[in-house]
């Protein structure tokens, strides 16, 4: 079971990292389109649809990855002060009551939405010769499935926390910068204290 959970975590991590490259692709694409439109006078009518689809794919496929890293935003004004077992109990209840019904609805509605789009080989109607969007809509149920599987992993983590009294360790990936840790690494606190002492000393020396 543990190996299976690790496989799901690693697959979702790999998917998230893969679609993360869309950030670079989008940046380069938008830069090129702006240059082409204003410098060359050759705008592309399909560029707006392409940007929307790339951003949408990035946003949807990052869901399971972010969940696997416990990176989704939560209102933890009180949650962070709770002991691990109480946190796990609340998470488990919320997963059962809200997460799984919502994600199952996403998978079902997304499948229907994508199937209808593929049946008519749907193209964008924003422009006269809009690009095909049925491959993009196929990402919706796929993103829901990856999120659903990651939800099962999170439920197992909650159960393990209830049994062991602490959260299982997660695989580390990209993390937000912790300012306090960064200060400790570069000894900023000591440097600031030394600078404060020097300023105070100079101020005392300038006094009559």
Asked if residue 24 has pLDDT above 70, the reply is yes
| Residues 67-118: tens digit of each pLDDT | 988 888 877 778 878 899 999 999 999 999 999 999 999 999 999 999 999 9
Q: What per-residue confidence (pLDDT) applies to 162?
A: 93
Q: Does 185 lie in the same domain as 170?
A: no
Angle between helix axes 139-164 and 2-38 (nearest 10 degrees) is 140
Work out the mean pLDDT of the chain and round it to a whole number: 85
Q: Does 42 lie in the same domain as 66?
A: yes
Q: What per-residue confidence (pLDDT) applies to 117?
A: 94
Instruction: Give the residue with greater pLDDT, 31 vs 204.
Output: 31
| Residues 146-181: tens digit of each pLDDT | 999 999 999 999 999 999 988 887 766 555 555 555
Q: Does 197 lie in the same domain as 122?
A: no
Q: Does 33 lie in the same domain as 97?
A: yes
Q: Does 165 lie in the same domain as 201?
A: no
Q: What per-residue confidence (pLDDT) applies to 171?
A: 66
Contact present, 4 and 36 (Cβ < 8 Å): no
Q: Does 196 lie in the same domain as 164?
A: no
Q: Does 143 lie in the same domain as 117?
A: yes
Cα separation, 138 vs 115, whole angstroms: 8
**Average pLDDT for 59-73:** 89
Q: Does 100 lie in the same domain as 50?
A: yes
Sequence-ordered alpha helix ranges (H) in 69-187 = 84-94, 100-119, 134-137, 139-164, 179-186
**Residue numbers of the domain that contains 46:** 2-176
Predicted TM-score (pTM) of this structure: 0.75
Asked if residue 127 has pLDDT above 90, the reply is no
Q: What per-residue confidence (pLDDT) applies to 207?
A: 61
Number of domains in the chain: 2
Q: Does 25 lie in the same domain as 44?
A: yes
Name the DSSP class of 167: P
Q: Does 187 lie in the same domain as 133?
A: no
**Average pLDDT for 22-38:** 93
Q: Does 200 lie in the same domain as 97?
A: no
Q: Does 111 lie in the same domain as 42?
A: yes
101-121 burial: b if 16+ Cβ within 10 Å, else e:
eebeebbeebbeebeebeeee
**What string of DSSP letters covers 48-90?**
HHHHHHHHHHHHHHHHHHHHHTT-S----TTGGGS-HHHHHHH
Instruction: Give the residue with greater pLDDT, 176 vs 203.
Output: 203
């Amino acid at each position: 079971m543990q190996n299976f959970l690790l496989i799901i975590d690693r697959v979702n991590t790999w998917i998230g990292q893969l679609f993360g490259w869309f950030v670079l692709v989008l940046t380069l694409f938008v830069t090129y389109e702006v240059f082409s439109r204003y410098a060359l006078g050759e705008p592309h009518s399909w560029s707006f649809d392409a940007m929307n689809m790339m951003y949408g794919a990035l946003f949807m496929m990052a869901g399971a990855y972010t969940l696997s890293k416990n990176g989704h935003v939560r209102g933890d004004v009180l949650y962070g002060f709770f002991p691990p077992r109480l946190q796990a109990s609340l998470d488990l209840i919320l997963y059962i009551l809200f997460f799984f019904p919502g994600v199952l609805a996403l998978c079902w509605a997304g499948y229907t939405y994508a199937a209808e789009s593929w049946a008519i080989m749907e193209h964008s109607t924003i422009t006269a010769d809009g690009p095909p969007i049925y491959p993009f809509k196929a990402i919706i149920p796929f993103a829901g499935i990856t999120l659903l599987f990651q939800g099962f992993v999170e439920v197992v983590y909650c159960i393990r926390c209830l049994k062991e009294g602490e959260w299982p360790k997660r695989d580390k990936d990209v993390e937000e910068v912790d300012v306090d840790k960064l200060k400790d690494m570069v000894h900023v606190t000591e440097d600031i204290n030394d600078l404060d002492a020097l300023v105070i000393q100079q101020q005392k020396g300038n006094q009559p």
